[in-house]
Amino acid sequence: MSDRFRVTLAQFNPTVGDLEGNAALAHKAWQAGREAGANLVALPEMFITGYNTQDLVMKPAFHQAAIARIEELARECADGPALAIGGPALEGAGLYNAYYILKGGSVTACVLKHHLPNETVFDEVRIYSSAPVGGPYAVDGVRIGSPICEDSWHEDVPETLAETGAEFLLVPNGSPYYRGKMDTRINLMVSRVIETGLPLIYLNLVGAQDDQVFDGGTFALNPGGALALQMPVMQEAISHVDLQRTPEGWRIAPGELAHIPDLYEQDYHAMVLSLRDYMRKTGFSKVLLGLSGGIDSAIVATIATDALGADNVRCVMLPSEYTSQASLDDAQTLAENLGCRYDFVPISEGRAAITNTLAPLFEGTEPDLTEENIQSRLRGLLLMALSNKFGEMLLTTGNKSEVAVGYATIYGDMAGGYNPIKDLYKTRVFDICRWRNGNHRDWMMGPAGSVIPDNIIQKPPSAELREDQKDSDSLPDYPVLDGILEILVDQDGSIADCVAAGFERADAKQVEHLLYISEYKRFQSAPGTRLSKKAFWLDRRYPIVNRWRDPGE
């Protein structure tokens, strides 16, 4: 009996629905493992289909094709190490989230998931059946337990695996990022190794799917909780992990410990990765955006440049008579700093034509928000025309504060295909801009240095749709607004909670009102990077028609 067992861990980036492409990645990992003398090559949860599949996996033609591709992969990888890969499984009338073990040309084991997450972005209870808790499987005489993702967040499955003979735990995951998730995972897995006394390998997906970012960060723990391996976050990687048999049982030999960046860097990297993958996986290569000279479009332009390279980013200034010279200068300086294409498209003539067209119908009325929104919608029309003509995806630039309270024009500045900062509150936008100006990493395709002009960060935010307009004319100051939104949205708190935190009741009621009446806008808004557990889309699902208001007494 061998006293060494090598596992090749493939922290790879699959694409939902691309069965052939995902199988090719699996084969690449298997080849690397075979060359390294691995006993087992492991891929994450639902790798063959990509993750999160949502309802796609319930389509019989799709899950049958995925199962058939796994069986074909087994034949292709017959001569070499075992291959572990996640995918759907059929058993009786049930569809399961499964983990397949392929060896010698066939499927030798199939682990079925027991605990099905049914919160935040997950709806697995309506998609999959829950399987009874199973036991370990054997590879080259070593018994391995694989609690699939959520199964490792509960005590019962790992403990049952340990009691039925598992010698170490290999946990395949499709665990999406939210701020602080890495600490949560490690703390939970430390609990599992302490409870079971077994070494544990936590293998996670990397890459983005729609709004969700899978941040990788695969790690391994020895009994007692000592960290034996840490793979990088947000990046594809392969690691070869050696387990050694000792008198006390199997132990993981110390491996590389990758640096875990701070939360500003993790957020920023998530936004870059999500945009890069959204473009690549939908078949787009170029983007454009309206560059206003404000901070939101500045950070989106910077994210886009870091994700795609300056040659693939078009910045368009669309000034009106209300656009300040400072905004004109700041926008051009930013584009030049980034090295992006910069187009200057005044909207005065188009706005005059629309105003003249509507004049007979608007006669006897006073200018109001309608005229302001015409400017925004005209800009949206022009940007969409450029998008159509040149095949460039239009990015929207509304931060979470604006998305929350509807401080955006539907069919205007909300027009577009993706919004990297959709889950980033305005106060954090400022922080992220300062972080990017002071930091550069090798995964950024944009230039190093202070690319965002200080004036953009320092000046009071304004939509510049009327003379001397400031955001604070319509909304509480952003530190107040964001503090209230953190309570109402991220904590699902009440008006009373806002008051207890020191905010004025009138401000809290105003924000609550705006939050609820803007639901119809969010329903029609572009997808964007998920950075928290309360991102607008799958994490927070409210009715559009809603007459309830918190009395807050």
Q: Comparing C-alpha atoms, which of 518, 537, 516 is closest to residue 403?
A: 518
Give the type of residue at 234: M
Helix (H, G, I), strand (E, B) or coil at 34: helix
150 labelled catalytic: no
Number of CB atoms found within 10 A of residue 103's CB? 22
Tokens representing 296?
């939101």
Which candidate in 45, 372, 402, 512 is catalytic?
A: 45
Tokens representing 36?
């390294």
167 labelled catalytic: no
Give the single-character DSSP code of 487.
I
Tokens representing 412?
């205007």
Q: In sequence order, what are the beta bridge partners of 143?
A: 138
Strands 249-252 and 287-290 turn out to be unpaired
Which candidate in 77, 110, 124, 149 is catalytic?
A: 149
28 labelled catalytic: no
Give the type of residue at 217: G
CA quadruple 83, 86, 87, 92: dihedral sign:
positive
Q: In sequence order, what are the beta bridge partners of 85?
A: 100
Contacts of 387 (CB under 8 A, 6+ apart): 288, 393, 394, 417
Tokens representing 466?
């009327």
User: How far is Cα 363 from Cα 413, in angstroms, rounded to an integer?
Assistant: 27
User: Phi and psi for 187 in degrees, rounded to 5?
Assistant: -60, -40
Peptide bond into 118 cis (omega under 30): no
Tokens 């569809």 locate to 95
User: How far is Cα 265 from Cα 329, in angstroms, rounded to an integer?
Assistant: 28
Tokens representing 541?
């699902």
Tokens representing 341?
């294409």
Which candidate in 77, 103, 110, 113 is catalytic?
A: 113
User: How far is Cα 310 from Cα 280, in angstroms, rounded to an integer?
Assistant: 16
**Active-site residues: which are they?**
45, 113, 149
